Chains A and B, each alone.
Chain A
Amino acid sequence: MRKIITNSYMALIFAFLYAPVIVLIIFSFNDARSRAVWGGFTFDWYRKLFENSDILSALRVTLIVALLSALISTFIATLTCLGLQSMKKRLRGIIMQVTYIPNVSPDLVTGISLMLLFFFIGIRTGFPTLLMAHIAFNIPYAILSISPKFKQLDKNLYEAALDLGCRPAQAIVKVILPEIMPGVITALILTFTLSIDDFVISYFTAGNQISTLAITIYSMARKSVNPQINALSALMFVTVLILLIIVNIRSGKDAKNSARARRGEKS
């Protein structure tokens, strides 16, 4: 009896969470403009989507910004984590505190404050400001993904590499980098996903010359109902789903590996 109640409760919660998404995806194949009547199966909205030049250029901007911001923020974060290792604890603490600021302040305030920064310096909003904003909100997440790997790192490895004749740069590339690689890759995927997913910060920093997918959807959704948005949503949903599955499988593997390593140490 108890089991029936808990199962049906979970079923209701999942229905609540997924119904809108599923309806959206189903209606992206609907051969009628209405969102309530089923008019037969069609790929029309997907075809129109790929003929829509606004959406295609927004898609291009979104992907380029996501890719560049993921690469740059992960690169900066890796350097930073390397540098933080040899820093005094107090200073490192302060830096980490400041790193957390964008994570705890509302997106709205982060977006607005970056917009004010560009306005104050006198840069016109556009692609460069959009990219900078994405790098700015991605770096903390990249640092938070990579820094745990440094905690697991054996400090003697670097010294050993130096003793065996590596130059410091070689030691970093050949010894430390492979050790922290799982964290780096997680950071890359995470920042890429966050960048694709962002709306609020892009909205304030992109200006009106260029547009990301999220901004395009927002302006379309505000004007009127358009089944092309359903098609686009379905595609974005599937993309994010695939990326997340990859991240989860990876972090699952990581957990297994580190568990194995720990068991190895004990025996």
Chain B
Amino acid sequence: MRMQKLAWPYILWMLVFTIAPLMLVAYYAFTSYDSSGNIYFTFEGFKSILSMESTVALDFLGLNSLFGIDLQVPIYINVFAKSLSLALVSTLICLLLGYPAAYILAQRSRKKQGSSFLLFMFVLPMWMNALLRTYAWLALLEPNGIINSFLSIFNVGPIQFLYNDFGIGLGMVYNYLPFMVLPIHSVLLKIDRSVVEAAEDLGADSRQTFARVIFPLSMPGIFSGINMVFMPAMTTFLIPDLLGGGRYLLIGNAIERQYMVSRDYTVGSALSIMLLVFVLASLRVLTRYEQDNSGGGVLG
């Protein structure tokens, strides 16, 4: 078939809408305007992010207060560290909650106990707008929301769930849990039954079989899941914005504000590049451990 030409419009489109925009982020990160509107090359964006003029005490996973370390870092580095620690903790909780769920789902799938329906139910919330899912929690967690009204029956509270690490972490776990479950589930399903049977024949009890056969074999799914949870958790601006009441600054909404509020494209683009490089680098490290075809299908 000689139909190469048919792909040309898309190649052109790709150059304009995929390649050029990314180049432009780099372009804006390294340029700025002077007062008469001339564009000049600059490192200002990166400098102001890394400037030691305004610093705060580093807060990373609470480790610094635990060990009594008082390290002064630039504000944005601290925002970065805070986003990283929240994303790491949420990813870990997703893994701890999601692995058993994926395991149970996979067992059901083998026995064909309405598994495709269960899986569909699991995927469904993932397809609902992240905005609506997050908004739903806002209604539940408010100071005079449903959970607090329920607690007040027992004279407890009102507990402040929102505008703190708890609320935002909850929002992240809720939003991204299916992203963890799906790839683990699909890897568990692919494990060859005979390998498990061989372990049992050789005298391993169910705990040993799990620890030494099933779990190591499911590692690709775990990496893929970590990947799919960590990236959106690290970059979200919606969750800290809604559940943080607009006062909570993570790297996602720090970037959003640079563009939409301060209109400082230089700093915004410099932050975006730092974030993109960081996320893609961690993605690269993780995909090294993944085998081919280990990711879960989006539609289940």
Contact = CB atoms under 8 A, between A and B. Distances in A.
A193 B275 CA distance: 28
B202 to A, nearest CB: 23
B1 interface: yes
7 contacts: A35-B145, A36-B144, A80-B7, A108-B235, A217-B129, A225-B142, A240-B127
B166 to A, nearest CB: 15
Most interface-central of A17, A21, A214 (chain B CB within 10 A): A17
Nearest to B136: A20
A259 interface: no
Contacts of A14: 121-122
Contacts of A225: 139, 142
Nearest to B146: A36
B24 A108 contact: no
A13 B3 contact: no
Contacts of B259: 112, 115, 204
A36 B232 contact: no
Contacts of B100: 9
B162 to A, nearest CB: 12
A83 B135 contact: no
Interface of A: 6, 9-10, 13-14, 16-21, 23-24, 27, 34-37, 76-77, 79-80, 82-87, 95, 98-99, 101-102, 104-110, 112-117, 119-120, 132, 135-136, 139, 155, 158, 168, 172, 193, 197, 199-200, 204, 214, 217-218, 221-222, 225, 229-230, 233, 236-237, 240-241, 244, 247-248, 251-252
B120 interface: yes
A95 B127 contact: no
Interface string B127-169: 1111111011111101011101100000000000000000000
B276 A117 contact: no
Given A199-B130, A222-B242, A247-B299, A10 B104 contact: yes
A24 B268 contact: no
A218 B131 CA distance: 7
A104 B284 CA distance: 11
**Closest 10 pairs (CB-CB, A-B):** A83-B7, A20-B136, A113-B21, A83-B6, A106-B235, A36-B149, A80-B10, A136-B17, A116-B24, A117-B21
A82 B3 contact: yes
B261 interface: no
Contact of A109 (B6, B17, B242, B276): B276
A36 B144 CA distance: 7
Given A79-B10, A112-B25, A237-B132, A23 B238 contact: no
Contacts, number: 223
Nearest to A117: B21
Interface SS of B by simple majority:
helix
Nearest to B297: A251
B130 A86 contact: no
B232 A106 contact: yes
A37 B130 CA distance: 25
Nearest to B100: A9
B232 to A, nearest CB: 7
A135 B118 CA distance: 32
B1 A109 contact: no
Contacts of A27: 139
Given A16-B174, A34-B144, A83-B8, 8 more contacts: A9-B101, A17-B178, A20-B133, A35-B144, A35-B145, A108-B272, A112-B255, A236-B129
A80 B6 contact: yes
Interface of B: 1-11, 13-14, 16-22, 24-25, 27-28, 97, 100-101, 104-105, 107, 116, 118, 120-122, 124-125, 127-133, 135-140, 142, 144-146, 148-149, 174, 177-178, 231-232, 234-238, 241-242, 246, 252, 255-256, 259-260, 265, 268-269, 272, 275-276, 279-280, 283, 299-300
Contact of B235 (A107, A119, A132, A139): A107
Contact of A214 (B129, B142, B265, B276): B129
Nearest to A27: B139
B5 A222 contact: no
A85 B1 contact: yes
B271 to A, nearest CB: 10
A222 B255 contact: no
Given A80-B7, A106-B235, A101 B142 contact: no
Contacts of A168: 2-3
Nearest to A200: B238
A106 B283 CA distance: 11
Nearest to A204: B259
A15 to B, nearest CB: 12
Contacts of B300: 248
A35 B7 contact: no
A83 B18 contact: no
